[in-house]
Amino acid sequence: MPFGMGHHICAGSNFAINEAKITIAMILQRYSLTLSPGYVHAPHPGLTLRPAYGIQIILNAL
């Protein structure tokens, strides 16, 4: 747990989460995202399902 829990919770944890949400929202408002033509779908099972080799995306300004 990066911010701790209970009485020892970091005071900036809510700020950091909200800042990340705002940053992602701003990126999604200003760019269109498309998958790279060379992307190969290869799911990697684990605790959560994730791409085995990452995901390549192309950002195009709107």
Query: Into how many domains does the chain fold?
Result: 1
User: Which structural domain, as residue segments, surrounds residue 23?
Assistant: 6-61
The pLDDT assigned to 48 comes to: 92
In a domain, 44, yes or no: yes
User: Pick from 23, 11, 27: which is nearest to 62 by CA?
Assistant: 27
Positions in the chain short of pLDDT 50: none
pLDDT of residue 7: 72
pTM of the model: 0.62
The answer to whether position 48 is within a domain reads yes
